[in-house]
Amino acid sequence: MKPVAIFRHAQSEGPGYFATFLNEKSIPWRLIRIDEGAPLPEDVHAFSGLVFMGGPMSVNDDLPWIAPALDLIRQAVARDVPVLGHCLGGQLMAKALGGVVTRNPVKEIGWGEVKVASNPVAEAWFGGIKAFEAFHWHGETFSIPPDASIVLRNAHCAHQGFAQGKHLALQCHVEMTEEMVKEWCTIGAAEIEASLGGPAVETAQLMQWALPERIRKLNAIAAAIYGGWIMGLAD
């Protein structure tokens, strides 16, 4: 089987639980370290799927790898190779597929509930799941591309996810591990402090409250989402 390509845009924002899930399913994967200067592949023929992780930058920044990433996403969609995006990755997908990325009304940092939209596409992806607690760390948001359907939303961000065929874009983070939450709280301490007082910003202490149980529940949700996504992997 061809490997799944996982694109990392920041050292602290790796595949997390997604890698664990692939390993448990014996699905090969390859980490492409964009943050270390690794080039993006020019085409998708070597991969069964593409996965874009998060990062502190904006898809609207003038960075040399963003245009090639958008081209690669469009190529994958055209060739029916499934694409999955987490936070920045979801924003890349939105921009590639005709949406726009703009500032969200509020910054979201920490845990918060997301609700599954009431439409057939959302129900196909999430089954009986109606809502769940996800992890968030973003100040921007995407619009829903013309041929896609909204699948997730919450009180602070109207567009938490969209799907288009085999392709799924998430604004929230479902790939988190305990170690990732703790690391983000450490390296993001200044941003947390500067953002406190916002309606969707938690302290580092609150983010780490009951962390093992919250991560266990999130991993179960992620496994359901990822399980649906891998069903579309290309031969």
Domain CATH for 208? 3.40.50.880
Q: In the predicted model, is pLDDT for residue 85 greater than 90?
A: yes
Q: Is 235 within a domain?
A: no
Q: Are 27 and 230 in contact (CB under 8 A)?
A: yes
Q: Is 214 within a domain?
A: yes
175-191 pLDDT, tens per residue?
999 999 999 999 999 99
- Spell out the SS3 assignment of the chain: CCCEEEEECCCCCCCCHHHHHHHHCCCCEEEEEHHHCCCCCCCCCCCCEEEECCCCCCCCCCCCCHHHHHHHHHHHHHCCCCEEEECHHHHHHHHHCCCCEEEEEEEEEEEEEEEECCCHHHHHHHCCCCEEEEEEEEEEEECCCCCCEEEEECCCCCCCEEEECCEEEECCECCCCHHHHHHHHHHCHHHHHHHECECCECCHHHHCCCHHHHHHHHHHHHHHHHHHHHCCCCC
Q: Is 21 within a domain?
A: yes
Q: Which domain holds residue 155?
A: 4-174+183-230
pLDDT bucket at 193, cuts 50 / 70 / 90:
very high
Structural domain total, the chain? 1
pLDDT bucket at 88, cuts 50 / 70 / 90:
very high
Q: Is 223 within a domain?
A: yes
Q: Is 17 within a domain?
A: yes
216-231 pLDDT, tens per residue?
999 999 999 999 999 9
pLDDT bucket at 29, cuts 50 / 70 / 90:
very high
Mean pLDDT for the stretch of residues 185-204: 97
Instruction: Name the nearest CA neighbour of 41 among 13, 4, 88, 82.
Output: 4
49-52 and 149-153: which strand pairing?
unpaired
Walk across the sheet containing 101-116 and list its strands.
29-33, 4-8, 49-52, 83-86, 167-170, 161-164, 149-153, 101-116, 131-142
31-75 pLDDT, tens per residue?
999 999 999 998 899 999 999 999 999 999 999 999 999 999 999
State the pTM of this model.
0.97
pLDDT bucket at 235, cuts 50 / 70 / 90:
confident
Q: In the predicted model, is pLDDT for residue 107 greater than 90?
A: yes
